[in-house]
Structure 1
Amino acid sequence: MHHQRCEIDRRSVRVRLTERGRNIRDLVSNLFLRHAGGLEDRGVLGPEGVIEITASLKRVERYWVDQIRYIY
Structure 2
Amino acid sequence: ERSPHDRRSVRVKLSEKGLALHKQLSDYFEKQVGMLDDAGLDHEEINKTIGLLRKVERFWTSIINFNRGA
Q: Which residues of structure 2 form unaligned runs of 5+? A: 52-70
Q: Could you tell me which of 46, 53, 56 is aligned with 2:42? A: 46
Normalising by structure 2, report the TM-score: 0.54
Q: Could you tell me which of 21, 32, 41 is aligned with 2:18? A: 21
Task: Compute the RMSD of aligned alpha carbons.
Answer: 2.7
Q: Is 2:3 the partner of 1:6?
A: yes
Normalising by structure 1, report the TM-score: 0.53
Change (3 A) 1:42 1:8: closer
Relative contact order (C-alpha < 8 Å, sep 6+): which is higher?
A: 1
Structure 1 stretches of at least 4 aligned residues deviating more than 4 Å after TM superposition: 47-50
Higher strand share: 1
Q: Which residues of structure 1 form unaligned runs of 5+? A: 57-72
- Count of aligned positions: 52
Identity %: 39
